[in-house]
Chain A
Amino acid sequence: MTDQTLPGRASEPPKVAFFNDPKIRGYLFQAIALGILVFMIYGAIDNAITNLRNQRIAGGFNFLNTTAGFGISQALIPWSEAMSYGRAFVVGLLNTLLVAVVGIFFATLLGFAVGVARLSRNWVIAKIAYWYVEVIRNLPLLFQILFWYLAVLATMPTPRNSISVFGLFFINQRGVTMPKPVFQPGGEFIAYGLILGIVLAFVVRAWARKRQEATGAQFPVVPAMIGLILGLPVLAYLVMGMPLTFDYAQQGRFNLTGGVTIIPEFLALVLALVAYTAAFIGEIVRAGIQAVSHGQTEAGRSLGLPEGRILNLIVIPQALRVIIPPLTSQYLNLTKNSSLAVGIGYPDMVSVGGTILNQTGQAIEVIGMWMLCYLTISIVTSVFMNWYNQRIALVER
């Protein structure tokens, strides 16, 4: 119907109406979009001011200094009810980060195992891995968290009848209790030893690689790295006169005393997140390995490389290029999914923040802080993974 409005008559010089000039149209559309946005934001702020005044809630972040008055079942930094909301939020943030780091570590291990198992030539193993992935991927994560929490961990025996593993670990309804390391004076040198060991291990690896590229001579990198990482802390331990003791849990009459306890909420959350994310990582790893053409493996064999080296030097480096980008988004998903902790009351950032929100009514501030923290975590993770991805990317001339 609008055909007649199109200035398409060939005989006349193309004289375009001002509203058909793409440039002016562009400005117009953007102005309209911006106008609508400003109008909406203005309306929202106006309503928010009225609503907040009616509910007698003062805006701003002053509430962060107020005494919180609630307990938190797991805190990485000292916490008591007399401390402020701000500190409570930081406790929650640290708990979120703890779950994310532990979860990412184990999900990567399990995920790679699942991915390799999917490609196994052993039919039974491949099928088990396939059905593991299908079942886990098709059940909601919250369902799985609740399953672990309510159907597995909550049905463990009472503390009195704890399941004892070698007398070191005790499993019961209240979680898993394990020996607690106690550092005596001089114990910090063990930590220094560990850090130095890790740094030296990577230095040795870089040196060995350089030497192999230059001369072809090989160096037993893996044993050397393990030796450095384990050996230096042990050496420090011995030299400093064994400044590390363990506080073992004791089975009391009604309860366990001593040791350090991992709360069941943390266990349920980590178990579910690891199982869930590993299924996705498994598929990514499988796709990555399959993306390496078979000719590469055959070429490796014809060069006379043993199977282990073909995997290490030829297949994995190429597969990683395909694996890393989607793996990054899985790591981010795991971090974001850790917010489901609120479903079982693990005190992560969302759970603690939710309590603060309910107590103070500061919805805008709390939700803003959540979003800022998650966005920061997302950005930092993706920047790091992009850096790693660029490092391993194909260098083309």
Chain B
Amino acid sequence: MGEGTIMTTSFVRSELVKPMAPPVALGGPIGWMRENLFSSIPYTILTIVGAYVAFMALYTFFDFTIWRAVWVGADRDACLDEKVGRSVGACWPFITAKFGQIMYGFYPAEERWRVNLTYIVAVALLVPLMMPSLPFKRENAIAFFFLFPILAFVLLVGGSIIDPWLVVFGWLAVLVGIVLLVFYVMSVVEKAPNQQLMIYGAAALVAGVLLLLIARTSAFDYPALPVVETRLWGGLLVTLVVATTGIVVALPIGVALALGRRSKLPIIRMLSIALIELVRGVPLITVLFFATYMLPLFLERSPDALLRVLVGVSIFSGAYMAEVIRGGLQAIPKGQFEGAMALGLNYPRMMGFIVMPQALKLVIPGIVNSFIGLFKDTTLVSIVAIFDLLGGLRAGFADPQWASPVTLYTGFAFAGIIYFTFCYFMSRYSIFIENRLNTGRRK
């Protein structure tokens, strides 16, 4: 159709329609409000009711925690309406008075610097580990997941400063020595003896045994820190110790169980599945009861109460971690496995160098989410008589010196703020990593 035909058709208009005036307000704040707040009568009602509810919730919270709050005082008199002469909000002096108990439990006051130092080291190692742009991830991870636990043990428990390192590295050297010697024997059977293996293996074995012997003699006992028994631990310290130990120990357990579940060996696979599904099918509290009441029956000597709980929590989070890691393993394309096999890598090398690094990177958000879950779940240890943050707080409620109508709410507000802050920022971090990994699907 040419231009001419249009021009000659009489009912086609020849000039443009004048543009209509734009709708009153589609852009700008007013337009936005029309669209999102007052688009219809029911919506307007919803908006008003919702705004009122939100306002009341926020007002109640800030009114209680800030505007009507009492900030200084010596005992309950500071927080009683009739003594103060007004309606009192949060009783913050209660928290100040109980702060030590809520943070450290009965950890001796003069030794609390050790706890603080542990926190500082943890933050110093964790922050660079969490920032993807910084280098030395491998060294940092080794420091945090391997060296830091020993350091934390030395600092928190006390006793000799050097012996725990000797013991850990001694056993490690013995293990490495044995593995190298086994490889040497295998090379001999294959009629290609590798002398190097024997030398290194024997050296590691001897060094390990020496380290263990030195640890035995307690020759390095002199700069000892006073021992603080774990039954004195409490408050946020226990919450953090349980959550961190749980997640750090859960990683190797999770990797082992995830590999076991995907293994081709039927017995290994069945055992892994049985353990994972058993633990995931029951509540954490029954696992804690198992660790507290049943585990001592199965051992010759009953371990310390906190240690029993740590065992329970580690088994529990290990089973969940296994499923998280399995998800990561399943996301690795088959080509990666085949490529590794084609290069002639054996199973440990294929997993250790090719598959696991990719899979673990994929599941970082899942690991952080497990950590959030575990952090919240640590509250359950108070049921088996370990005083965590919540337990310390409840002990504080029972103090008649601070008995007032607002004590309870103050405590809940304080604990709530702590838990929320921790979990909220961890979940933000998890979302941040997820978005970084999702570069391909970003819209």
Contact surface of A with B, Cβ cutoff 8 Å: 1-2, 4-8, 17, 19, 26, 29-30, 33-34, 37, 43-45, 47-48, 51-52, 121-125, 127-128, 131, 134-135, 137-143, 146-147, 150-151, 336-337, 339-340, 342-343, 350, 354, 357, 363-364, 367, 370-371, 374-375, 378-379
Contacts and interface: CB of A to CB of B under 8 A. Distances in A.
Contacts of B286: 339, 350, 367, 370-371, 374
Of the candidates B194, B282, B397, the one having the most CB atoms from chain A within 10 angstroms of its own CB is B282
Given A37-B271, A350-B289, 11 more contacts: A2-B183, A5-B194, A33-B268, A44-B298, A142-B382, A143-B416, A151-B409, A336-B282, A340-B285, A367-B289, A374-B286
Interface string B254-287: 0000000000111110010000001001111110
Given A37-B271, A139-B376, A140-B379, A122 B285 contact: no
A122 B393 CA distance: 40
Contacts of A45: 298
Contact of A51 (B296, B377, B408): B296
Contacts of B267: 30, 33-34
A4 B187 CA distance: 7
Given A5-B187, A122-B47, A138 B423 contact: yes
A48 B51 contact: no
Contacts of A127: 54
Given A30-B268, A151-B409, A336-B282, A124 B54 contact: yes
A357 B268 contact: no
Contacts of B376: 138-141
Contacts of B350: none
A150 B398 CA distance: 12
Contacts of A151: 408-409, 412
A128 B397 CA distance: 32
Nearest to A276: B376
Given A123-B36, A138-B419, A139-B420, A1 B271 contact: no
Contacts of B394: 146
A346 to B, nearest CB: 13
A338 B138 CA distance: 41
Closest 6 CB pairs of A and B: A138-B423, A44-B298, A336-B283, A140-B376, A363-B293, A339-B283
B408 A150 contact: yes
Contacts of B47: 122-125
Contacts of A51: 296-297
29 contacts: A4-B192, A5-B183, A8-B344, A19-B186, A26-B264, A26-B265, A33-B271, A37-B271, A47-B299, A121-B35, A122-B46, A123-B37, A124-B47, A124-B50, A139-B416, A139-B420, A141-B379, A142-B383, A142-B390, A143-B390, A143-B416, A146-B390, A147-B412, A343-B382, A350-B286, A367-B293, A374-B281, A374-B286, A379-B281
B289 A354 contact: yes
Contacts of A125: 46-47, 50
A48 B298 contact: yes
A361 to B, nearest CB: 9
Nearest to A120: B46
A139 B46 contact: no
B200 A1 contact: yes
B133 interface: no
Question: In terms of DSSP, what is the predominant structure of the interface of chain B?
Answer: helix
A339 B293 CA distance: 17
Given A1-B180, A146-B390, A375-B282, A122 B408 contact: no
A375 B46 contact: no
Contacts of B39: 121-122
Interface of B: 35-37, 39, 43, 46-47, 50-51, 53-54, 180, 183, 186-187, 189-190, 192, 194, 196-197, 200, 264-268, 271, 278, 281-286, 289-290, 293-294, 296-300, 344, 372, 375-380, 382-383, 390, 394, 397, 408-409, 412, 415-416, 419-420, 423-424, 427
Contact of A134 (B268, B281, B424): B424
Contact of B294 (A6, A124, A363): A363
Contacts of B297: 47-48, 51-52, 363-364
Contacts of A354: 289
B50 A128 contact: yes
A19 B249 CA distance: 31
A123 B43 CA distance: 10
B281 A375 contact: yes
A143 B239 CA distance: 13
Nearest to A57: B297
A7 B289 contact: no
A371 B278 contact: yes
A371 B51 CA distance: 46
Contacts of A122: 36-37, 39, 43, 46-47, 50
B420 A374 contact: no
Contacts of B43: 121-122
B440 to A, nearest CB: 18
Nearest to B195: A4
B427 A138 contact: yes
A350 B187 contact: no
B46 A124 contact: yes
A47 B50 CA distance: 62
A375 B344 CA distance: 43
A361 B290 CA distance: 13
Contacts of B180: 1
Of the candidates B51, B297, B382, the one having the most CB atoms from chain A within 10 angstroms of its own CB is B297
Given A8-B344, A44-B298, A151-B409, A139 B419 contact: yes
B186 A29 contact: no
A357 B289 contact: yes
A374 B283 contact: yes
A98 to B, nearest CB: 16
A5 B290 CA distance: 45
Contacts of A150: 397, 408, 412
A342 B298 contact: no
A371 B397 CA distance: 34
